[in-house]
Structure 1
């Protein structure tokens, strides 16, 4: 049995829901395939605290693989993050009102970490399932990147047998509707489609350790 921990975030910035958590819940309720055990844990949208919550969840559930999810409103597809960077630089307050600027997540930690999941293979798996996906070269400098870096640091310093990565999901349709005029033209994806793509990613990641060689770069 392969144990998978999937995390999603609580709502933030005035939204009533967060599609990353809705997708994580559904993945847990409907495990991808026999032999995979999926546990979902909701994380706070609070810098610092969220890293402690992540480490606690890993300690309790002892997963073989961690897939952290977060919302990236404005992106049109599932984006698999390649790199986590060691900085908090908040454009908006987190749910505790914190707005750190240029603060390292781990003092004296490496400047960055690469995901330990097969990023491009995950993208290809989602596309084969009919769900648009792409490689992202930047996870931002807010809570999503904070969790991604904390996970990568945990793996690098304490649990090298663990593998993990981060995927951003778009707005769900109801969020765009709730934005009213501000949501006009913004892309969205149903939570069910998110789960279809994420399921394909998980099934591929469990059996794939060496990533495929396929273009996934960006010019800017």
Structure 2
């Protein structure tokens, strides 16, 4: 027969264990990724945006942010264990697209790597598949129309884009959609391209559109709010 004190300890341990189990089950993650700088760019706003929302609570979800390398193989290698670890409710990739004046909500990822410039390891893919034997394309599974409506209501210039390019951005979106395709609990997956920062344009001497960081961050917060309410 156990002593009263031992019973109290056991009940207390069970209560703590139950609370921890409840917390584990209740915590839901939205995984946000950005990219490091690449090419001639000394900065990448997607990196700063991802870091700015890391750890935030959005509805019933907590944001977990990761910065990916601009590398043909290492980006997926970095992402794969995090997907397994977090089992996120949604995955939102962020990237930089110079020449675009608005926030671009990407509709589709195609199974081709045709880099317009080398990655940060000096590798330049030329017409290779993102996943050998994979489908021609995958559509993003985040609520694009609702995201666009919310951004427009906030006065943030945005549009739904039908091409994520053929660089690491498209490759990462395709890889993630392919990776989660067979999972019993598939997260919603999307990609958002942001314009250059004003300082990046000023330093280039080129005629390029730009967007300041606070507006980009407001756009990301708006998008996360829509996704959190949908998953």
Instruction: Output the TM-score relative to the length of structure 2.
Output: 0.84
Structure with bigger gyration radius:
2
For 1:127-155, what per-residue CA distance to the aligned partner results, in whole angstroms no more than 9, with x for missing partners? 22221110000000000001000111012
Out of 173, 181, 193, which is 2:215 matched to? 193
Out of 46, 49, 74, which is 1:23 matched to? 49
Whose helix fraction is larger, Structure 1's or Structure 2's?
A: 2
Aligned to 2:115: 90
Q: Give the Cα–Cα distance (whole angstroms) in 2 for the partners of residues 100 and 6 of structure 1.
A: 25
**Does 1:11 find its partner at 2:33?**
no
Q: Any unmatched runs of 5+ in structure 2?
A: 1-26
Pairing 1:101-112 to 2, within 5 Å after superposition:
101-112=126-137
Q: What value does the CA root-mean-square deviation take over the aligned residues?
A: 1.5
Runs of 4+ deviating beyond 6 Å:
none
Q: How many residues align?
A: 205
Aligned to 2:74: 49
Deviates more, 1:34-43 or 1:108-117: 34-43
Aligned to 2:21: none
SS in 2 for 1:12: coil
Q: Any unmatched runs of 5+ in structure 1?
A: 210-220
Q: Give the Cα–Cα distance (whole angstroms) in 1 for the partners of residues 185 and 87 of structure 2.
A: 13
SS in 2 for 1:157: coil
CA distance 1:140–1:129, change in 2 (3 Å): same
Aligned to 1:207: 229
Q: CA deviation at 1:26?
A: 1.0
Instruction: Output the TM-score relative to the length of structure 1.
Output: 0.88
Q: CA deviation at 1:160?
A: 4.2
